[in-house]
Amino acid sequence: MSFQQYNTKIKPHLLFIAPTPPPFAGPEVVSAALLQSELLNSRYEVRHIRSNVNANNADKGRIGLKVLFRFAMVFIKVMRALNSFKPDMVYTLMAQNRIGFIRDAIYIMSASSHNAKIICQFHGEKFRGFYERQPAFFRRIIRRICLRIDLMLVQSENLKSQFSGLIDSHKLRVVPNGVDVSLYRAGTGAGYTEDSAATILFVSSLFPSKGFLDLYEVAKEIVAEGHQISFVFTGEKCASDRNIIFDKDGRALPILSDSFYESNNSSIRFTGPIYGKEKVKLMQASDIFVLPSYSESFPTVVLEAMAAGLPLIITPVGALTEILREGENCLFVQPGNRLKLKELIISLATDKDLRQRMGQANRELVGDKFTKANMQRKFIEVLDTGLCPFPGPRIHDLQAVS
């Protein structure tokens, strides 16, 4: 790729409008990893505007005076950068709740009005459901915004379909998530502990939509029955999720009270949020990673658990069915199926050989395909194609949208 076409610039200008930790969640973690790319900064002149408006995951999707003020401050920075930095491309995210979508739409429209190409990334698998739940006037707004996007990034091939009819297929690109596998090389993991008791690890925000309540109720049953299995729940307390609010049958997910995060049993432990090296140590000291989530795109925490050599019990959601093999990397359980979840936990906890085989396979898979370096390289390839002519027509005639 040659950048000689940019006569007044040494390198193309990329404006990066995205959140970074804290809080720690998929979009923040991925954005930080992309920005850390030395190759990105050598090929592009990058300016980052940190778009966080909430200090923690529990507050995401809420609106109030503080949030509006923080958004206004971010928007002022965006407009200043569009006028002074004059980006050739703007990278931003797209949310699957109404408040978040309006925020992202404002960034997209502002950048489009300054003739910048729009590279958008979606972290989720429920955009189609979000779109279909909206009233007719808001669906028209969504379609108009989608027409402004030059490239939309998703984490796997099977996640493209949620944009069918909204974004042309030639504008969809896959950039799988990746993790720094070097952080996990020191430990053994995968059930190599000599202790006969197995430790089940859950790492995520404690949302009902993450399957936390399902696993917690199952944990209480397993411990009460006397099985040599302990449970560790690591993450931020979150009463409800504003992105995923329904289960697979369309029922509203519950809102949790503080009592759900309490345990008087030594075999069920809540640690609160843990990050960095402490999280790595916790994964390496565990035997099985469980995430019975109702919806995911491509959770980085699953890749982290795999890099630590852990077998998985997870739900067949998002990219997971595309990259993982049942019985080789994981055991799948349908969201909300507590009986099957309990059965799988007890079965895998008592099968050390299978845990070791799965853990080793997971470690090799992440090291081969899902490293942070691979994700960064794929992202840059997408940016480079964004500077080239598209293989299909670019849609700018908003009058065609009904």
Per-residue pLDDT of the chain (402 residues; tens, 9 = 90+): 333 344 456 899 999 999 999 888 889 999 999 999 999 999 999 999 999 987 765 555 567 888 899 999 999 999 999 999 999 999 999 999 899 999 999 999 999 999 999 999 999 999 999 999 999 999 999 999 999 999 999 999 999 999 999 999 999 999 999 999 999 875 555 544 555 689 999 999 888 889 998 999 999 999 999 999 999 999 987 655 555 545 555 555 555 555 655 666 789 999 989 999 999 999 999 999 999 999 999 999 999 999 999 999 999 999 999 999 999 999 999 999 999 999 999 999 999 999 999 999 999 999 999 999 999 999 999 999 887 644 433 333 333 333
What count of Cα atoms within 13 Å lies in the side-chain half-sphere of residue 349?
A: 24
Q: Alpha-carbon dihedral of residues 377, 381, 386, 388, nearest 10 degrees?
A: 150
Task: Confirm if 204 and 57 have CB atoms less than 8 A apart.
Answer: no
Q: Give the chain's domains with CATH numbers.
A: 13-178+372-400 (3.40.50.2000), 181-369 (3.40.50.2000)
Q: How far is the C-alpha of 342 from the C-alpha of 275, rounded, in Å?
A: 28
| Positive/negative CA dihedral, 215, 220, 226, 230 | positive
For residues 95 and 348, give the distance between their C-alpha atoms in angstroms, rounded to a whole number.
36
Q: Are 28 and 35 in contact (CB under 8 A)?
A: no
Burial of 275 (0-12, 13-18, 19+ CB in 10 A): exposed
Cα four-point dihedral sign 4, 10, 14, 15: negative
- How open is the CA angle 280-209-17, to the nearest 5 degrees? 70
